[in-house]
A and B are shown apart, each in its own frame.
Chain A
Amino acid sequence: MKYVRKNEPYILLFPSFFLLFIFLAYPLLSSIMYAFQSFKLTAPNAIGFNGIENFKAVLTDNNFPLIMKNTLIWVVLTVGAQFILGLILALSLSRPFPLRNVYQAFVFLPWAVSSFVIGLTFRWLFNTEYGPVNDILLKLGIIHEKIYFLSDPKMALYSVIIAMAWTGIPFFAIMLLAAMQSIPHEIYEAAEIDGAGIISRFWHVTFSYIKQTILITLLLRTIWVFSSAELIYIMTTGGPANSSNTLASYMFMKAFASLDYGQAAAIGLFFMVLLLLFAFIFLRLTKFEKAGNL
């Protein structure tokens, strides 16, 4: 049962939506307009509408297939790693142990550090000459030749993914942990009495109970990881030879390095459409709406 009132909900939502409209809708509209203009700050006298030229330029770029492939790898592996490791961490944290509060305060820390600090730190850790990762692996005899984490085109993207996964695990873990703790104990007890093993208990109780949380977190995370460019920009600037460039970092560089807002906006629009499609399919496939969550 819910209240039915004419004005109240609108009044309550007004401040939020007022701010969103003024400060988000306007810039969004102007960037959508940029997408159909030649809008290079380096050529300010040539700004004007140019139809779909920007989209053409972006989609016919020789590097575009590579960038799309990188984007897919980036999103799938990063979100996958964050999810699996976050789930394992949440499962381990779900029961009390001594000093759990302190432990949690520490493992949430990556979430509270600026991404450029994380990017620079990992760039250093992975450095081949004075980075400790190679040094330790060599000294332990695990590897015999240095790994070129950021300069080998086959490695660069994956090295950034490691850093990105590292940053994102706490968020996943918090959300999943919270959901797990809301599972009523009786359900576990019932399962125990039925003689369910640990795996079956996880699958039938834990997993099915927190499915909704998993889905919404996966959806939001996928969107955020997709549009995140900072770590890539800081660690590799998309190189070597575009081997770690994704759609988002490509857009970031178009906007902030080349100052081509027209093409940057075209990429942005293109990827918003992609995400919209993804969200739509995701919500349909998971029957999220029917479950009453939206």
Chain B
Amino acid sequence: MNKKQRAPIVIVRFVVLLGYLLMVLAPFYWLFITSLKPKLDILTTNIQYWPKHITFDNYIYLFETSNFHIFFKNSIILSLATGLFGTCLAVLGGYAMARFKFRGHKLVIYGLLLTQLIPGVLVLVPTIIMYSKLGLTNTMGGLILFYTVGTIPFSLILMRSFFDRIPMDLEEAALIDGCNKMQSLFKIILPLMLPGVIATFIFAFVGAWNDLLGAVMIISSDSLKTIPVGLNMFIHNYDIDWGVMTAGGIAATVPSLIMFAFMQRFVVNGLTDGAVKG
């Protein structure tokens, strides 16, 4: 394609990108300046678009008084573990779906699509009752299991489409070279699919990072709570502690921002490989 674009298109693109950035950032800007305001300046009819009295009290309170660092640590462990398990299961299953002919192949795919139709709210309570009978409530393992199960269907669908994009010839060549099937999977195929693997990982990670309801229902001890639950504790029945909650909200986006910055190249490229096949 020609390197130079026509000027009007460049301008339109610039305007679109800028507009979109503003649209995305505006609510974040609002959260951010709120987190820097003292309580008296937060909810006023005389709206301050830049804090008149900048304070870091909300952040200090967040980390010193409210145990937020524990929630932070838990969320990181939880999301990493969910991402890891979800991706492992998806690699195995996706490989099977893409590479083998077997009876029930269609059933498997329709089954996975079908799970997406199940409203989470509906199955939450029976799930919790089941978890408590199995002794899985109030354990980090139980919570990891909960999110891993939730992420399996979409991860499998995604992973299968990545496998589909890798030509069979590659694998066959490896087999001829004397690798067995597993060696070819781990040594040849997976490295090629790294972007796809990372994309799947991020989907699972973000799912566990954001969810509130599952974590509230499964975890009771403060030492095991996650960020969304921690943030929710600043909503009291008569009052929302906006300053601290927004400080927490801003702090919680930092890991995602870092992860996106480092990995979005892989996400986009990864999905590039997979997306064509859906």
Contacts and interface: CB of A to CB of B under 8 A. Distances in A.
Chain A in direct contact with chain B (Cβ < 8 angstroms) = yes
Interface of A: 1-5, 8-10, 12-13, 15-17, 19-20, 23-24, 26-28, 30-31, 85, 88-89, 92-93, 95, 97, 101-118, 120-122, 124-125, 129-130, 132, 135, 166, 170, 174-175, 177-179, 181-182, 185, 188-189, 192, 198, 209-210, 212-213, 215-216, 220, 223-224, 227, 229, 248, 251-252, 255-256, 261, 264-265, 268, 271-272, 275-276, 279, 293-294
Given A3-B100, A130-B44, A24 B115 contact: yes
Interface string B8-44: 0100010011001101110110110000000000011
B119 A9 contact: no
B120 A113 contact: no
20 contacts: A9-B99, A9-B102, A12-B96, A19-B145, A20-B152, A85-B20, A97-B13, A108-B260, A108-B264, A112-B210, A113-B252, A113-B256, A114-B210, A117-B228, A117-B231, A117-B245, A125-B30, A178-B272, A223-B116, A248-B119
A98 B212 CA distance: 37
Most buried by B among A85, A105, A212, A223: A105
B16 A102 contact: no
Ordered nearest first, which 8 A-B pairs have the shortest CB separation?
A: A178-B271, A112-B256, A216-B278, A12-B96, A27-B126, A9-B100, A9-B96, A268-B122
Interface stretch (B54-62, B63-71, B106-114): B106-114
B152 A19 contact: yes
A121 B27 contact: yes
Contacts of A104: 260, 264, 268
A89 B20 contact: yes
Contacts of B43: 130
Contacts of A251: 119, 121-122
Given A130-B43, A223-B117, A293-B277, A112 B206 contact: yes
Contact of B253 (A113, A175, A179, A294): A113
B21 A103 contact: yes
Q: Interface size class for chain B?
A: 35 or more
Contacts of B242: 124
Interface of B: 1-2, 5, 9, 13, 16-17, 20-21, 23-25, 27-28, 30-31, 43-45, 47, 49, 89-90, 92-93, 95-97, 99-102, 106, 108-111, 113-127, 130, 145-146, 148-149, 152-154, 156, 168, 181, 206, 209-212, 227-228, 231-232, 235, 240, 242, 245, 249, 252-253, 256-257, 260-261, 264-265, 267-278
A9 B107 CA distance: 13
The interface residues of chain B, by DSSP majority, are classed as helix
B271 to A, nearest CB: 3
Contacts of A27: 123-124, 126-127, 130
B30 A294 contact: no
Given A97-B17, A111-B206, 9 more contacts: A12-B95, A16-B92, A23-B145, A113-B252, A116-B232, A132-B49, A178-B267, A227-B117, A279-B113
Contacts of B272: 178-179, 181-182
Given A108-B264, A125-B27, A125-B30, A294 B257 contact: no
Contact of A2 (B101, B106, B276): B101
Contacts of A271: 119
Contacts of B249: 113, 117, 121
A201 to B, nearest CB: 10
